[in-house]
Every structure is written in C-alpha cells, then in structure tokens.
Amino acid sequence: MLRLLFTINLTILSLLPSMSFAHSNLEEPNLYWASITAETKEKRTELVNQGFSIETIVEDTSYGFANQEILDSLKLQGFDVKAEFPAAEFIRPQDFPNNDSVYHNYAELTDELRKLVAQYPKLAHMDTIGKTLEGREMWVVRINPNVDSTFEQSGTPGIVFMGGHHAREHLSVEIPLLMLTHLLKNYNVDQTITNLINTRDIYFIPQVNADGSEYDIESGSYRHWRKNRKQNDARCFGVDLNRNYSFQWGTGGSSTNPCSDVFMGAAPFSEPETQAIKLFVETRPNLKILLSFHTFSELILYPWGHKYDSISDARDLGAYEKMATTMARWNKYTPQQASDLYIASGDTTDWSYGTLGIFSFTFELSPRNMWGGGGFYPGPGAIQTTFNANLKPVLYLIDLADDPHRAVTAPETTLFFRDQVTKL
C-alpha cells in the first residue's frame, strides 16, 4: 500500500502545476527527495555514509534527501536511485503562523516558557545553557520544588528531556513543551505527578537547534532544513547536530561532505549547540535517564547506533529492552536498537550512555511514515494525539530515574505495572 501511495504522489506531482506547491528558496545545492533500493541495514548504512539522509524505510527501499551530486555518485556506484524530485515540490504549502499557527516559533516558545515559570515560581526554574551559533539562548526549564535555581545541585534522581535537534522536526519541540506544561499544571492535582515532582529532578530543553528551526520557517514555506546554520564553505551550510557528539564520532553513518544532510562537522562537539548540551549533562551527575525527541517514524530507539553489536552489559541491555517494550505498549511505537535501521555515529544517546552511563532513548514521534501523515509537517492535529500517546512513557521514565534497572528487577514497583501484564 505504501508503495502504491508513493506512486500516486509522484503521479500527482507530475500533473499539477508548480504553483500548487510551496517552492521554497532552498540554498544551493538544492535538496532532492529520492528512493533507493537497499535490502539490508548494511546497504542502508552505506547510503548514509555517502551523504544520503534516510527518512523512512519501506521493505527494501529507503526514502530520503540528498543533493544531486550525491545522488549522481550513488548511481555511478550501481545503486538503483528512483523517484527524484526537488524537496521543495514535496512540501505542502503551510507555514508558521498560518496553517500551523499552534506550533511555536522561537519567540513564542521563549514567551511560553517564561509564562510557565512565572505562573509556577516555586516549582519551575528557567535559564539558558548556552547560545546557538547565531546567538539565540538555549532554554532549559527545571521542575524541582526543593531548589531555588536551575544550577543548584540536587541529590534527587535526575532526568532530562530534549527536542529540536533537527530543524524541520517541529513536533519534537511541541511535545517536551506540552509535557512540561502538563507536569506543572497537575502538581498537587494528580497524586502520581505530585509524588514524581517531589522526588525527582526534571529538566526540559525543548529546542536545541533554534537557528535551524527559525530558518526552516522564515520564508513562509517550509524549507525541509535539518542542520544548524554553520557556513561550511561558499555553497553549503549546516552541521547535523545529532552526528556531532564525540562518542565514536565519524565511525559510520554520517558524512564528511559539508553539503550532506548528515554532515558530522569538522570535529566532535565543533558546534556551540552540542557543546552546550555536553556541559549541561556532564555537570549534573544525578542525571540517570535522557530522552531525545525526534520525528518521524514512531520508533523507540536505544543504543547502540554506531555499531550493529548489542550493548555488552547484559544487565543494562535487559533494562533497555524491558523499558522499550513496556513503553511501546502505550504509544504503539516499534522498540529496537538504533542500528537496526542503519549505522549512525556521533548521536546524542550513544554519547550520553557510552560516555556517562546515562540510560538514553530516542523517540521518533508521529507520523509513522511520510504518506498520509504529513512526514515532518503533520499539521496541528498531530500535537495532542502524540502527546497523549507518550504521556505514560514519559511518566514511566521519570519514575525509573532513581534506578532504570528496576524495570527488570522489580517491575511491580514501576508506574502502570498492571498495564504491562498481558491478560490471558
């Protein structure tokens, strides 16, 4: 069915006049959408290594973005490249603040965070963890009634949620914002949430890549931009922040091509955005769990991403698998090791687990695929349904921040345990 839908989409694109689509002013070299046959995860990794940004996979076909130079090189190597057309023609004509006005741009997000902190001054503390390349503040909000600032050390178990590593993934900014709002509004209202807030140190960094996000929407039509706004050379901009972390950086699944969507940067932590995350996480030894929201595909991913081998620590692996499959019962996502898709090195979760031992997950949020769900731009209706699907997983992770191994060793003590029990 998905193959049929894709064929139909291509047919429609060939028949409708160009004015029916949003032709954004993508910088040279322009991005192209393409499908490439790749039957195995090893073949998919080979594509990514050469600069193809895989966004969705259907059976033996990978769909994603690359510039014409990369696609031509893949063709010369014998890859079956099909369905090429400019990314701008695939983008629906919607923008901030019209069709998607409920989404928050940087100024609106900043204002909303300030309002929440002002409304709940005894619970919430807001600060900046650093500045982006273009000088925007990277906001963090801490929920903890037992401290007076974002930087006061706490002995309570900690967890951090972050979103917006990739510019076009605007839904990944909305979900941490909604989770933050929900927790604050339900303190002393919902007993479970009240208990969690009283015994945990909870951080939200809703938008890591504010520069890229603003660039994606500033023209009034989505640009399908992924990276930050680093000028690499005369033609190409941007570093993929989720390939710029140091653990096993550059060992596969990223590109040295500065024009690629998965360009890993000149060096690990070469970007101010990833440097800020590094400093923030490393200076909070109480952090036990990290969750990075991305879109799309409806997946729960855990390390490793940089290699096909599983985590060697059997105890940790058991906890990861138990936590992932449990959360999948609620949000209906697919739980799996990240490299089951393809190798991706230098990402956030491999770094935070591999370097600091923090249990780390990536949620690829809704929709499940590009067709029929809007892909990176699923519209206003996706926000509430995605929040609803992920509320229990988020609360479950906050609960387990004291000891992630408890998911296996004492599952009956975890939140919603009865929901996990299969009814015969």
Count of other CB atoms within 10 angstroms of residue 220: 13
CB-count burial class (<10 Å; 0-12, 13-18, 19+) for 48: buried
What's the CA gap between 37 and 3, in Å, rounded? 13
Answer whether 351's CB lies under 8 Å from 344's CB.
Answer: no
Residue with tokens 């550059």: 250
- For residue 273, give the 3-state DSSP assignment: helix
DSSP string covering 102-162: TS--HHHHHHHHHHHHHH-TTTEEEEEEEE-TTS-EEEEEEE-TT-SSSSS---S-EEEEE
Nearest to 272 by CA among 309, 244, 306: 244
Sheet holding 81-86, edge to edge: 53-58, 61-67, 31-37, 81-86
Contacts of 119 (CB under 8 A, 6+ apart): 184
Q: Which helix (H) or strand (E) holds 272?
A: helix 272-282
Residue with tokens 């970007």: 271
Q: Is 69 a catalytic residue?
A: no
Helical pair 191-199 and 171-185, crossing angle rounded to 10 deg? 100
What's the CA gap between 294 and 291, in Å, rounded? 10
Phi, psi (rounded to 5 degrees) for 299: -130, 150
What's the CA gap between 243 and 274, in Å, rounded? 10
Taking the CA atoms of 350, 352, 358 and 361 in sequence, report the sign of the dihedral they define: negative
Answer whether 57's CB lies under 8 Å from 341's CB.
Answer: yes
Count of other CB atoms within 10 angstroms of residue 151: 14
What's the CA gap between 422 and 205, in Å, rounded? 35
What's the CA gap between 367 and 364, in Å, rounded? 9
What's the CA gap between 74 and 216, in Å, rounded? 27
Taking the CA atoms of 31, 37, 43 and 44 in sequence, report the sign of the dihedral they define: positive
**Catalytic residue (one of 134, 321, 364, 412):** 364
Residue with tokens 């991305």: 294
Catalytic residue set: 364
